[in-house]
Amino acid sequence: MKSSGGRYFEDFRVGQVFRHASPRTVTDGDVAFYRALTGSRFVLQSSDDFARAVGHPMAPIDDLLIFNVVLAQSVPDVGINAVANLGYAGCRFLAPVYPGETISAVTEVIGLRDTGGRTGVVYLRTTGHKDNGVEVMDFARWQTVRKAEEAVPPFSEQLVPPLPAAVPADALGARLPVLDLSAWDTGLSGSRFRWGDYELGERIDHVDGALVDEGTAMLAARFFGNPARQHPLPFSDERSRGRWLVPGGLVMAIARALTFNGLGNAVHVAAINGGRYVGPLFTGSIVHAWSTIVGKELIDGRDDLGALRVRLVGTRDQPAADFPDRDDAGAYLPSVVLDLDLWLLMPR
């Protein structure tokens, strides 16, 4: 067999390292298509003129586009037989990426847990690099992966790795250019609110919604380069009613794009402290989002940027005016599909 059916749970070992194929040069065309998929409007990533005025050489590429490119590169080696990504931790965006730069990725297996059924859990750390060797991001994730044979004896190698609860604020934004805040035009950025205008505990309904149809879901999987088996196919269980499963990375990117209405000056995702796909999103659904400010930090050595720690919640077919979250027993409401803990950087 010259073709590959992907790795099953039994094929993984702690310490394995995969250098992924198909490095990707991210182009202006990619940026335009990402904007078409997500509706992202953040000014720093939209306007070369604005970016140059405040200190970047050109408009940097949206952080979650880079996340999806790096994640997708890893899928052929570690995710073809994955059922779902269960969560993320310690995701750091380390350096800006600009159009014309090439991204490659490497993944290490950092843990394994046999659940005793048809799947096991594989823990991974993936790192993305520019073509000059500079690390642009890294993140840990854990995913359920099918077994080749359900009846095999319980897997002997078990390791659940320790994962950070949050990325320290003093590690944020070190490689970003210093911004000239005198050139930060809030009329062009779409928001007059800066870092100091947000209060701990404040909740923000991002108001808008985004419909995800079959064309969007299919094109997103192909655009990101994600060949995972569950994305190109319609599901037939009771929840999906034959609709298609939307890639989780697209759900994250759309929810982040929706935050423009309320957090328009939060122009960089510096870290994803943790995140979960609470429930599946199927095509034909509308994504809404709301946020709450759970932390505020100054950054050592940076007078231009402050960090907001934000909990971002995405919902399915339910506007967020009432901030849908959990029921009295602590279980997520059926409409909640995404729960992310982010560090966002915003001009002071």
Q: For residue 186, what are its two tokens? A: 């809030």
Q: What's the CA gap between 323 and 219, in Å, rounded?
A: 30
Mean pLDDT, the chain, integer: 92
Q: What's the CA gap between 60 and 83, in Å, rounded?
A: 33
Helices 63-78 and 248-258, interaxial angle, to 10°? Answer: 170
103 — pLDDT class (breaks 50, 70, 90):
very high
Q: Does 232 score more than 60 pLDDT?
A: no
Predicted pLDDT at 239: 58
Average pLDDT over residues 101-106: 98
Q: What's the CA gap between 38 and 24, in Å, rounded?
A: 20
pTM of this prediction exceeds 0.75: yes
Predicted pLDDT at 152: 61
Domain map (residue ranges) of the chain: 13-148+155-347
- Cβ(26)–Cβ(61) below 8 Å: yes
Q: Within 13 Å and on the Cβ side, how many CA atoms surround 179?
A: 25
Task: For domain 13-148+155-347, give the CATH superfamily.
Answer: Hotdog Thioesterase (3.10.129.10)
Q: What's the CA gap between 60 and 96, in Å, rounded?
A: 6
- Cβ(153)–Cβ(116) below 8 Å: no
Average pLDDT over residues 289-302: 95
Predicted pLDDT at 116: 80
Nearest to 62 by CA among 348, 344, 347: 344
Q: Is 294 exposed, middle or buried, given 0-12, 13-18 or 19+ CB atoms closer than 10 A?
A: middle
Average pLDDT over residues 30-57: 97
Residue 246 or residue 149, greater confidence:
246
For 238-255, how does the pLDDT look when each residue is reduced to its tens digit (9 = 90+)? 555 678 889 889 999 999
Predicted pLDDT at 115: 84
For 166-206, how does the pLDDT look when each residue is reduced to its tens digit (9 = 90+)? 999 887 988 999 999 999 999 999 999 999 999 999 999 99
Q: What percent of the chain has pLDDT over 70?
A: 93
Which DSSP string do the residues of 297-348 spell out, in sequence order? EE-TT-SSEEEEEEEEEEEES--STT---B-TTSPBPTTEEEEEEEEEEEE-
Q: For residue 227, what are its two tokens? A: 């060949």
Q: What's the CA gap between 46 and 334, in Å, rounded?
A: 35
